[in-house]
């Protein structure tokens, strides 16, 4: 080795040490343990978490490891090898993937540090420089993007635990006891929902309220058994999870979007739904009666022969509801059934849902414009996202009790009270979660 | 004790979804695949001309073009059929739909569509004056043999694009992937580029290779005259060596003695390949490979769609 080789080697070693030390400090500034910077691949995954791009970080992790193999292939495989071109192609693809995902991760990190995008250029060519600057210079500080370390996430930051079951638990109706709903994100666990205990009697129309990310859809998916949680959900005393194959036919779920085949006729859409959802022994005549009954109930009479595509937004929504209603479910859940509908049509739709509930069914609806139909509901469940980014129960009771509890005169103002300040809300979720926990405890004692 | 309710099983659900597919054929413009097949079949027949099944070159080009038409038709039949309604499938799966029934319904429906397209293309080639060889090695009718090969190629390509449609999340991704798969099918068919070594082994994984091999074998390519050699020699007529023109002398002798047809037939014998031999065994092997691929793609489609519940909201 000549002097130039030595200089190059020393520079490379120094650059690697500075880059690693810089990333160590960046991770430390963001509340992540610094030693992750020492592990190839893992450092990008941790930077991905810091930059709010965890999935990209995960791919960068694998790509970084694969890159080691690719670099080995570049240097060790003989050009005369029969498969040289294949190795070369695979190695190039890996290098490109690694580069793209590392750039994605680093752009996320720059955003966290409120730095301009063009800092990515030195990150690619002289990574030790920005890493060192961002890690060791106190001028560069991360913003709070809602990143918490694993211990905080596991514990939840909310001040109260509401582990006890609802005192009004009964065999009839719907009983929801969600202890937690979490997702494993690669190497960490994130809690989406904790301690939601609610009982809903038959014949109730229930409003599920909460800001975005409060866990409304997560709760619904847990209740219908589609995304199982650490929970006990019973419908008329029967465990939904243990009897899922039977219970799924007793639960109707209408998603937010109208998931319909537009080029099929209304009648055929409903008739096929009946064939799929009704038991095998239901006779064709009876099935037809059920379809006609649904058409009548939802006000689709006279419109059943045209294509779904030709129907208005309100009619499509009713067809979507009809597909679930056809099996006469005991529990009926609707995710924003009034989205895209004007006030009059929305009101009309909720009146029909009121009618379904009055037939002894349980109807739970999510809506972002609850005040125009608030009088129709028997019960309101308010979910809020606590400071640990976990959905929790902030209230459950009648709409009147809700307005008294939150000291607000409308449902929309209740949502604003628990929403985060970054969303234009008052950011009082933790306070109301704690107050409701105390209220429940008092009710329990009484 | 309450009687346990029983719901429609897999086979009954196949009929529900098959009915839906057939309605979609009428209302969702899937029927347009048929005139499209006629159009592309007509264009290719026009380009190939009537040299097919007369000279080796015409047969090879014609068979390759027909294989391409079949692959193209198969791809376009189903590249979007699943991904365009993915959220609907997710909803219906939640409500009790069996994925295997859904895919089986698609398989039956696509089989009918591919059969119709094959009939259309065969009809067009016959109307255009292409004369199919009289000899049949499987069914007793060469037209039926050719039809079965073309159907299998179309259907296998259809199943491949069905699998792609089941794997990708949306139509944009499907239409991005499709050209790459199509290019792979064309380049590694072995017809356009002479492949050797590892790249030659890749040809076994293409639909085009087996389709082309089967069509060429049925077209009895090995026994047909070859014109390339004669044309090449003809180009060298001006070549001089020691004041003489030996190539010109040779071609003149051939023409003078009316030996051209014998020369062409003889040169065809030397360029024949064992994989294009007209035998039932050879053709059946190609059909079996295509059928295995079709089943494999259908299984991949089913397995990948079973994961639909993991789709993000």
A346 within some domain:
yes
Do residues A440 and A355 share a domain? yes
Residue A391, classed as helix, strand or coil, is strand
Tell me how far apart the alpha carbons of residues A379 and A199 are, in angstroms, rounded to a whole number. Answer: 10
Contact A264 B91 (CB under 8 A): no
A264 within some domain:
no
Cα A372 off chain centre by: 27
Report how far apart, in Å, the C-alpha atoms of A198 and of each of A179, A192, A379 are.
12, 17, 11
Do residues A108 and A137 share a domain? yes
Confidence of residue A185 (pLDDT cuts 50, 70, 90): low
Tell me how far apart the alpha carbons of residues A39 and A32 are, in angstroms, rounded to a whole number. Answer: 14
Contact A276 B8 (CB under 8 A): yes
B2 within some domain:
no
Domain of A222, CATH number, reads 3.40.50.300
A146 within some domain:
no
A315 within some domain:
no
Across B13-40, b (16+ Cβ under 10 Å) vs e yields: bbebbbbbbebbbebbebeebbebbeeb
Minimal C-alpha gap between B7 and chain A (Å): 4
Contact B24 A264 (CB under 8 A): yes
Report which of A289, A58, A60, A10 is spatially closest to residue A185, judged by C-alpha positions: A58
Asked if A382 and A401 count as a contact pair (C-beta separation under 8 A), the reply is: no
Higher pLDDT, B26 or A106: A106
Tokens of A277: 């959802």
Q: pLDDT exceeding 90 applies to what percent of chain A?
A: 40
- Domain stops at, among A89, A115, A141: A141
Tell me how far apart the alpha carbons of residues A201 and A378 are, in angstroms, rounded to a whole number. Answer: 10
Supply the DSSP symbol for A252.
E
B16 within some domain:
yes
Confidence of residue A164 (pLDDT cuts 50, 70, 90): very low
Q: Across all residues in chain A, what is the average pLDDT?
A: 85
Do residues A13 and A115 share a domain? yes
Contact B4 A255 (CB under 8 A): no
Confidence of residue A152 (pLDDT cuts 50, 70, 90): very low
Do residues B115 and B23 share a domain? yes
Higher pLDDT, A159 or A437: A437
Range in A139-148, A205-214, B5-14, B273-282 the model is least confident about = A139-148
Tell me how far apart the alpha carbons of residues A30 and A149 are, in angstroms, rounded to a whole number. Answer: 9
B3 within some domain:
no
A399 within some domain:
yes
Contacts 24+ apart (CB under 8 A), A338-346: A338/A367, A338/A369, A338/A373, A339/A256, A339/A368, A340/A313, A341/A313, A341/A314, A341/A317, A343/A372, A345/A313, A345/A314, A346/A372, A346/A373
Contact A276 B27 (CB under 8 A): no
Using a CB-CB cut-off of 8 Å, the residues of chain A touching B310 are none
Do residues B79 and B172 share a domain? yes
Asked if A327 and A277 count as a contact pair (C-beta separation under 8 A), the reply is: yes
Confidence of residue A158 (pLDDT cuts 50, 70, 90): very low
Predicted local confidence at residue A171, as pLDDT: 65
Alpha-helical (H) ranges within chain B are 10-27, 33-48, 56-78, 86-94, 99-127, 142-167, 171-187, 198-202, 207-218, 228-235, 246-256, 260-271, 280-305
Cα A440 off chain centre by: 27
B55 within some domain:
yes
A188 within some domain:
yes
A133 within some domain:
yes
Using a CB-CB cut-off of 8 Å, the residues of chain A touching B32 are none
Predicted local confidence at residue A154, as pLDDT: 39
Q: Is B300 left (phi over 0), alpha (psi -120 to 50) or beta?
A: alpha
- Within 8 A by CB and 6+ apart from A196, the residues are A176, A177, A178, A215, A219, A383, A391, A392, A393
- Domain stops at, among A119, A141, A163: A141
Predicted local confidence at residue A64, as pLDDT: 85
B133 within some domain:
yes
Do residues B27 and B125 share a domain? yes
Tell me how far apart the alpha carbons of residues A349 and A298 are, in angstroms, rounded to a whole number. Answer: 8
pLDDT by residue (tens digit) across B193-231?
888 777 788 889 999 999 999 999 999 888 899 898 999
Do residues B18 and B162 share a domain? yes
Predicted local confidence at residue B156, as pLDDT: 98
Predicted local confidence at residue B312, as pLDDT: 67
Do residues B21 and B157 share a domain? yes
Do residues B170 and B265 share a domain? no
Do residues B248 and B184 share a domain? no
- Is the pLDDT at A62 greater than 80? The verdict is yes
Residue A230 parent element (H or E):
strand A230-235
- Is the pLDDT at A406 greater than 60? The verdict is yes
pLDDT by residue (tens digit) across A25-52?
999 988 888 999 999 889 999 898 888 7
Asked if B115 and B151 count as a contact pair (C-beta separation under 8 A), the reply is: yes
Query: Is residue B249 less than 8 Å (CB to CB) from chain A?
Result: no
Do residues B75 and B202 share a domain? yes
Count the domains in chain A.
2
B187, burial (CB in 10 Å: exposed 0-12, middle 13-18, buried 19+): middle
Do residues B269 and B289 share a domain? no
Count the domains in chain B.
2
Do residues B95 and B167 share a domain? yes
Contact A277 B95 (CB under 8 A): yes
B130 within some domain:
yes
- Domain stops at, among A141, A172, A195: A141
Query: Is residue B5 less than 8 Å (CB to CB) from chain A?
Result: yes
Q: What range does the domain containing B258 cover?
A: 225-274
Asked if B107 and B300 count as a contact pair (C-beta separation under 8 A), the reply is: no
Number of CB atoms found within 10 A of residue B273's CB? 11
Do residues B150 and B249 share a domain? no
Do residues B73 and B151 share a domain? yes
Minimal C-alpha gap between B17 and chain A (Å): 8
Question: Given B7, B23, B91, which is nearest A268 (Cβ)?
Answer: B23
Q: Find tokens 């890749």 and name the residue.
A: B202
Closest chain A residue to B86, measured at CA: A259
Number of CB atoms found within 10 A of residue A311's CB? 19
Higher pLDDT, A274 or A424: A274
The dihedral through the CA atoms of B218, B207, B182, A73 has a sign that is negative
Do residues A115 and A185 share a domain? no
Do residues A45 and A126 share a domain? yes
Q: What range does the domain containing A129 cover?
A: 3-141
Query: Is residue B20 less than 8 Å (CB to CB) from chain A?
Result: yes
Q: Across all residues in chain B, what is the average pLDDT?
A: 90
């Amino acid at each position: 080795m000549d002097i130039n080789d030595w200089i190059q080697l020393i520079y490379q070693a120094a650059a690697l040490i500075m880059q690693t030390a810089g990333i160590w400090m960046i991770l430390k500034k963001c509340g992540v343990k610094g030693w992750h910077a020492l592990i190839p691949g893992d450092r990008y995954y941790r930077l991905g978490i810091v930059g709010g791009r965890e999935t990209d970080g995960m791919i960068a992790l694998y790509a970084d490891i694969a890159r080691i193999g690719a670099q080995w292939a570049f240097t060790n495989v003989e050009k005369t090898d029969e498969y040289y071109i294949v190795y070369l192609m695979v190695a190039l693809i890996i290098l490109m993937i690694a580069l793209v995902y590392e750039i994605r991760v680093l752009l996320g990190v720059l955003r966290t540090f409120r730095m301009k995008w063009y800092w990515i250029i030195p990150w690619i060519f002289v990574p030790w420089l920005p890493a060192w600057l961002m890690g060791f210079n106190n001028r560069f500080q991360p913003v709070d993007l809602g990143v918490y370390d694993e211990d905080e996430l596991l514990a939840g930051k909310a001040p109260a635990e509401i582990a006890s079951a609802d005192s009004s638990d009964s065999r009839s109706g719907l009983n929801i006891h969600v202890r937690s709903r979490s997702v494993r994100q690669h190497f960490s666990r994130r809690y989406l929902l904790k301690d939601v205990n609610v009982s809903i009697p038959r014949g109730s129309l229930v409003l599920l309220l909460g800001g975005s990310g409060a866990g409304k859809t997560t709760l619904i998916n847990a209740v219908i058994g589609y995304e199982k949680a650490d929970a006990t959900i019973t419908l008329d005393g029967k465990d939904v999870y243990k009897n899922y194959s039977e219970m799924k036919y007793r639960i109707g779920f209408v998603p937010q979007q109208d998931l319909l085949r537009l080029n099929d006729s209304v009648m055929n859409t409903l008739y096929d739904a009946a064939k799929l959802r009704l038991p095998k022994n239901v006779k064709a005549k009876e099935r037809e009666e059920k379809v006609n009954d649904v058409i009548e109930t939802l006000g689709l009479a006279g419109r059943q022969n045209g294509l779904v595509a030709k129907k208005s937004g309100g009619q499509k929504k009713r067809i979507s509801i009809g597909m679930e209603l056809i099996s006469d479910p005991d529990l009926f859940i609707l995710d924003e059934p009034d989205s895209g509908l004007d006030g009059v049509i929305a009101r009309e739709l909720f009146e029909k849902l009121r009618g379904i509930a009055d037939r002894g069914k349980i109807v739970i609806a999510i809506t972002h414009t609850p005040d125009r139909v608030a009088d129709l509901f028997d019960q309101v469940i308010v979910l809020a996202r606590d400071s640990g980014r976990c959905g929790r129960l902030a209230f459950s009771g009648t709409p009147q009790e809700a307005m008294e509890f939150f000291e607000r005169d409308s449902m929309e103002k209740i949502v604003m009270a628990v929403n985060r300040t970054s969303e234009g809300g008052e950011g009082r979720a933790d306070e109301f979660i704690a107050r409701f926990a105390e209220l429940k405890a008092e009710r329990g004692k009484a | 004790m309450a009687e346990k309710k029983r719901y429609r099983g897999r086979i009954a659900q196949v009929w529900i979804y098959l009915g839906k597919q057939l309605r979609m054929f009428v209302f969702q413009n899937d029927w347009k695949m048929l005139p499209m097949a006629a159009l592309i079949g007509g264009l290719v027949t026009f380009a190939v001309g009537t040299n097919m099944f007369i000279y080796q070159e015409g047969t090879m080009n014609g068979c390759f073009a027909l294989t391409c038409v079949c692959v193209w038709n198969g791809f376009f039949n189903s590249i979007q059929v699943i991904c365009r309604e993915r959220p609907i499938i997710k909803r219906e799966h939640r409500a009790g739909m069996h994925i295997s029934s859904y895919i089986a319904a698609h398989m039956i429906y696509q089989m009918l569509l591919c059969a119709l397209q094959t009939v259309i293309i065969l009809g067009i080639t016959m109307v255009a004056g292409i004369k199919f060889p009289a000899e049949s090695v499987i069914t007793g009718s060469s037209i039926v043999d050719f039809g079965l090969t073309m159907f299998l190629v179309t259907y296998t390509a259809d199943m491949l694009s069905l699998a792609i449609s089941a794997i990708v999340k949306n139509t944009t991704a499907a239409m991005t992937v499709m050209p790459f798969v199509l290019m792979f099918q064309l380049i590694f068919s072995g017809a356009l580029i002479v492949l050797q070594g590892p790249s030659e082994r890749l040809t076994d994984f293409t639909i085009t290779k087996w389709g082309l091999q089967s069509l060429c074998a049925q077209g009895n390519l090995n026994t047909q005259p070859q014109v390339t050699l004669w044309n090449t020699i003809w180009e060298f007529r001006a070549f001089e060596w020691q004041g003489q023109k030996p190539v010109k002398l040779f071609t003149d002798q051939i023409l003078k003695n009316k030996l051209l047809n014998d020369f062409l037939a003889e040169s065809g014998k030397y360029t024949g390949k064992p994989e294009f031999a007209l035998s039932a065994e050879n053709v059946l092997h190609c059909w079996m490979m295509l059928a295995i691929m079709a089943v494999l793609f259908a299984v991949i489609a089913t397995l990948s769609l079973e994961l639909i519940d993991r789709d993000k909201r």
